Amino acid sequence: MIMKLYSIPAMMCMLLLLASCEKELDFKYHDIEPLTVIEAELTPDGAKVAITSTTPMDEPMDRTHLTDAVVTLTDLTDGSVYGLHTDSEGFYTDLTPGVAGHDYRLTVERAGCRYEATATMYPPTEIESLEFNWIKMPYDQVAVFQGRFYDDEATEGDCYWIKLYRNGKIYQWGEMDDRSAADGINTFITMTTRKDTDEEDDDTVLFDGDVLTCTVLPVSRAMHDYLEALQNDSNGPAMFSGDKCLGYFVATSPVSASIVFRPDEIPEYK
């Protein structure tokens, strides 16, 4: 059942969960020798790994995928080993589904260096509801987006990575845990577009008919802390052992739901 926002103070507290999340995963680089950057995800659809390199601060960002590595994924639970191969876009991929509850090790070997990370595959949650409400702010009315999803009451410290996509492209992202969960439901709230779209930035504006897709990924506490560090303009804690690199390896079961933005049909928060 779709629930209304309970109070302005509660809403403003929860807004902090997705504060400053109108950006992609941004790494803060210093004037050092280029470092390998590994961004790896294992899901029920298989494994996908992007390998790039840091760029000197005085040069334009270069996101060219590096394809000179040897990438393997080991299922530590059943002993299976998979070699990943590059696709047409330069991603290393393998279509073998990840299995919830299994432990995995990702190994990347490149230019004489070796990087390893381990992760446990998390099962999916379920999205209960998505909704918009207009809220009056001093400068305009703002569409507040609320998502509710199920959280396992039997465990504590569950963590999540929330991604919002606008018409298929990343719009906002943030991390949260289960401290705000109540009766097995976790709720996140974030501001989106102003009602006066002429005064809104392209990064945040929503127009009638735009599709907002919410994806919830259960993640480890280590991944939560890594994402939190990125939100605070840090490269985050090291997620890989071996030679020094940046990036992450996450094994999870994403779930998604979408809502169409219809400004004339959105109720105003009372």
| Virtual torsion, Cα 225, 230, 232, 237, nearest 10 deg | 50
Tell me the mean pLDDT in the region 53-58.
Answer: 74
Give domain status of residue 112, yes or no.
yes
**What's 108's domain CATH number?**
2.60.40
Same domain, 80 and 170: no
Q: Kindly report which listed range (103-107, 232-236, 260-264) carries the lowest average pLDDT score.
A: 232-236
Bridge partners, 114 (sequence order): 109
Q: Is residue 248 in some structural domain?
A: no
Span 148-198, pLDDT tens digits: 999 999 999 999 999 999 999 999 999 999 998 999 999 999 999 999 999
Q: Would you say 218 and 159 are in contact if contact means Cβ atoms under 8 Å apart?
A: yes
What pLDDT band is residue 270 in, cutting at 50, 70 and 90? low
Look at residues 76, 94, 120 and tell me which one is the last residue of a structural domain. 120
Asked if residue 139 lies in contact with residue 12, where contact means CB atoms within 8 angstroms, the answer is no
* pLDDT score for 5: 30
pLDDT given at position 54: 87
Contact 151, 125 (CB under 8 A): yes
Assess if residue 270 is contained within a domain: no
Q: Are residues 73 and 195 in the same domain?
A: no
Out of 63, 95, 120, a domain closes at 120
- Asked if residue 3 belongs to a domain, the reply is no
- Which residues partner with 51 through β-bridges? 38
Whether 84 and 207 map to the same domain: the answer is: no
Q: Which domain holds residue 195?
A: 8-25+124-236+254-265
Of 52-56, 110-114, 242-246, which gets the smallest average pLDDT? 52-56
Which structure tokens are listed for 112? 């004489």
For residue 74, what is the enclosing H or E element?
Answer: strand 70-75
Among the listed residues 74, 80, 122, 105, the one whose alpha carbon sits nearest the alpha carbon of residue 220: 122
241 domain residue, yes or no: no
Domain presence at residue 57: yes
pLDDT band of 236, cuts 50, 70, 90: confident
Mean pLDDT of 68-78: 98
Residue 70 shares a structural domain with residue 16: no
Strand bridging mode 246-251 / 36-43? parallel
Number of folded domains in the chain?
2
175 and 72 housed in the same domain: no
63 dihedral zone (left: phi>0; alpha: psi -120 to 50; beta): alpha
Same domain, 94 and 192: no
pLDDT in tens, 30-39: 556 789 999 9
Cα–Cα separations (whole angstroms), residue 233 to 5, 181, 228? 30, 27, 9
Q: Is residue 13 part of a domain?
A: yes
Same domain? For 259 and 157 the reply is yes
Do 179 and 258 lie in one domain? The reply is yes
**Position 178 in a domain:** yes
Question: What DSSP designation does 182 have?
Answer: B
Alpha carbons within 13 angstroms on the beta-carbon side of residue 259 total 21
Q: Tell me, yes or no, whether 115 and 129 share the same domain.
A: no
Instruction: Compute the distance between CA of residue 162 and CA of residue 175 in angstroms, rounded to an integer.
Output: 6
Our CA angle for 229, 223, 248, nearest 5°, is: 90
3-state secondary structure of 163: strand
Contact between 229 and 221 (Cβ < 8 Å): no
| pLDDT tens-digit map of 3-30 | 333 333 333 334 434 433 444 555 554 5
- Tell me: do 107 and 151 sit in the same domain: no
Whether residue 268 is predicted with pLDDT greater than 90 in this model: the reply is no
Tokens of 153: 């009451």
CATH of the domain at 259: 2.60.40.10
Residue range 197-209: average pLDDT? 91
pLDDT in tens, 120-152: 999 999 999 999 999 999 989 999 999 999 999
**Pair 49, 89 in one domain:** yes
- Check whether residue 166 and residue 202 sit in a common domain: yes
* Per-residue pLDDT at 265: 96
Single residue among 65, 96, 120 that ends a domain in this structure: 120
